[in-house]
């Protein structure tokens, strides 16, 4: 069992949201099977160059304790990490990459009945101009090249959004071809055309509209319309976003919405929360960073999902300064106990007792 001292009280406030039962034309409501999914982003495990060893030790220990406590208390069935798992994957040597992967697997270990799915971010494989086949392959060797994941009648599409530049590069062309194939399979499942010459002999996917998971958000001008305690600071919200750097391009965003017709989009990258609606109907939620290096109040999303509906809630980690105050208080208390035990400091309890006796004898 993980240590309950970090995040336990905070996580006790977190509850899985409830999905309303579906009704069919006045008939009795029926309950569909619910998938409990946990979504987090931008863990940014430090590398060998930029991360100070003390910073790495402290914050990664905090992150590990928080993640393990969340798994123990909340028992999700699947965990999705939406990119930028590592901070220096884009330039790390093979030796440094192996060390980073080993640390990740220790920190984010999970029981065999839970599944962990990861999509690539720009810090994992590099921005488009830094990305190459070697970096993509070594990432996929650890985390899989899976693009479509279906469970309990729910379809998740996991996109390498770094490869959606649209300039015809080899990696980009392959990524688009994979998404076209996924789109084709989803369309076949919607139309239920089993065994036709167009859909092929394989099993049909669930008919559920997919949930799109990626690192870069879909195109939006800025975070001007974002709000909440974990949104970008007010002074940053009106700064225009750069296409293919802060967000996907307009063209790539339109392609994804057209090809996949998702019912929900979840993304990371900005390190801050934001909820927007695309084309007036498709909601997108940008998930804040899970690392205290990037913000004082990390969080993750808890999703109760069925083939036809979903409900989301946010779970906050303790603020870092609160954690530090608790640690400092605990250390101070232990120091006082140790000094008292060895007679180097008068016990405050005995001192108080003596003062009371003197007061009574007067």
Q: Is the pLDDT of residue 202 over 80?
A: no
Where does the pLDDT of residue 8 fall: very low under 50, low under 70, confident under 90, or very high at 90 and above?
A: low
Using CA atoms, how far apart are residues 147 and 145, in angstroms rounded to an integer?
Answer: 6
CA distances from 344 to 326, 338, 339, 341, 349 (A): 24, 9, 5, 8, 15
Q: List the structure tokens of 69.
A: 């406590």
Q: Pairing between strand 264-267 and 211-213? A: parallel
Q: Is the pLDDT of residue 5 over 50?
A: no
Q: What is the DSSP letter of 183?
A: H
| Average pLDDT along the chain | 87
155 vs 28, more confident: 155
Measured N-to-C along each axis, helices 250-260 and 170-191 cross at an angle, to the nearest 10 degrees, of 30
Where does the pLDDT of residue 193 fall: very low under 50, low under 70, confident under 90, or very high at 90 and above?
A: low
Q: Is the pLDDT of residue 195 over 90?
A: no
pLDDT tens per residue across span 19-72: 988 766 555 567 789 999 999 999 999 988 876 667 777 788 889 999 999 999
Where does the pLDDT of residue 1 fall: very low under 50, low under 70, confident under 90, or very high at 90 and above?
A: very low
Where does the pLDDT of residue 2 fall: very low under 50, low under 70, confident under 90, or very high at 90 and above?
A: very low
Using CA atoms, how far apart are residues 127 and 106, in angstroms rounded to an integer?
Answer: 27
As a whole-number percent, the residues of the chain with pLDDT over 70 amount to: 82
Q: Is the pLDDT of residue 173 over 60?
A: yes
CA distances from 6 to 2, 48, 67, 215 (A): 9, 26, 10, 28
Average pLDDT over residues 180-191: 90
Write down the pLDDT at residue 118.
98
**Which has the closest alpha carbon to 140: 77, 79, 97?**
97
Write down the pLDDT at residue 56.
76
Distant-in-sequence, close-in-space partners of 124: CB < 8 Å, separation ≥ 6: 83, 84, 85, 86, 89, 90, 135, 139
Q: Is the pLDDT of residue 197 over 60?
A: no
pLDDT tens per residue across span 307-331: 999 999 999 987 665 555 655 666 6
């Amino acid at each position: 069992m993980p240590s309950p001292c970090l995040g336990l009280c905070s996580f006790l406030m977190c509850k899985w949201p409830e999905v309303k039962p579906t009704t069919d034309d006045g008939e009795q409501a029926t309950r569909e099977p619910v998938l409990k999914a946990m979504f987090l982003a931008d863990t940014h495990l430090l590398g060998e160059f930029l991360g100070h060893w003390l910073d790495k030790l402290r914050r990664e220990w905090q992150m590990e304790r928080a993640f393990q406590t969340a798994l123990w208390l909340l028992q999700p069935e699947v965990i999705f990490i939406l990119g930028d798992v590592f901070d220096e994957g884009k330039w790390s040597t093979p030796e440094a990459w192996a060390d980073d992967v080993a640390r990740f697997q220790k920190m984010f270990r999970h029981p065999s009945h839970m599944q962990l799915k990861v999509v690539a971010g720009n810090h994992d494989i590099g921005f488009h101009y830094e990305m190459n086949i070697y970096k993509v392959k070594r990432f996929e060797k650890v985390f899989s090249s899976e693009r479509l994941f279906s469970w309990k009648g729910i379809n998740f599409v996991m996109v390498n959004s770094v490869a959606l530049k649209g300039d015809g590069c080899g990696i980009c062309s392959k990524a688009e071809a994979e998404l076209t194939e996924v789109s084709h399979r989803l369309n076949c499942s919607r139309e239920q055309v089993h065994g036709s010459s167009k859909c092929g002999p394989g099993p049909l996917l669930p008919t559920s509209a997919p949930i799109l998971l990626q690192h870069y958000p879909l195109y939006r001008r800025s975070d001007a319309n974002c709000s909440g305690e974990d949104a970008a600071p007010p002074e940053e919200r009106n700064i225009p976003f750069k296409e293919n750097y802060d967000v996907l391009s307009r063209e790539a965003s339109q392609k994804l919405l057209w090809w996949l017709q998702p019912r929900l989009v979840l993304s990371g990258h900005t390190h801050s929360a934001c909820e927007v609606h695309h084309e007036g109907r498709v909601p997108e939620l940008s998930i804040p960073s899970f690392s205290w290096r990037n913000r004082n109040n990390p969080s993750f999303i808890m999703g109760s999902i069925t083939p036809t509906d979903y409900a989301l809630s946010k779970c906050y980690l303790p603020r870092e300064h609160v954690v530090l105050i608790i640690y400092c208080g605990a250390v101070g208390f232990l120091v006082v106990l140790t000094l008292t035990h060895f007679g180097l400091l008068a016990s405050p309890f005995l001192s108080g007792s003596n003062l009371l006796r003197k007061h009574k004898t007067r």
